[in-house]
Amino acid sequence: MGIRGILAGAGALAVGAGVLFAPMAAATAPPPHLWVSPAKLSPGKALEFTASCYGTRTNVTSAGLVAPVELKSRPVTGNEPPYAGSGVAGARPGHFTASFHCDGGSIPSATGTATVEFDIVCPKTTSCAPTSTPSLPPKPTYDPTTTKKPKAPQVKVTPKGAPQTGGGELGLVSVPGG
pLDDT at 57: 96
The structure's pTM equals: 0.57
pLDDT at 125: 73
pLDDT at 111: 95
pLDDT at 77: 83
| Alpha-carbon gap, residue 134 to 136, rounded angstroms | 6
Query: Containing H/E element for 5?
Result: helix 3-21
Residue whose C-alpha is closest to residue 116's, from 45, 46, 4, 33: 33
| Alpha-carbon gap, residue 165 to 150, rounded angstroms | 38
Report all structural domains of the chain as residue ranges with CATH numbers, in order of start: 33-120 (2.60.40)
- Rounded average pLDDT per 10-residue block, the chain, 178 residues: 55 47 61 96 96 95 98 88 96 97 94 97 74 47 56 66 55 58
Neighbour order of strands in the sheet with 112-120: 40-41, 112-120, 94-103, 56-57
Q: Strand locations in the chain, DSSP E?
A: 33-37, 40-41, 46-52, 56-57, 72-73, 83-88, 94-103, 112-120
Cα angle: 20, vertex 21, 25; to 5 degrees = 95
Cβ density class 60-88: b for 16+ within 10 Å, e for less: bbbebbeeebbbeeeeeeeeebebbbebb
pLDDT at 175: 59
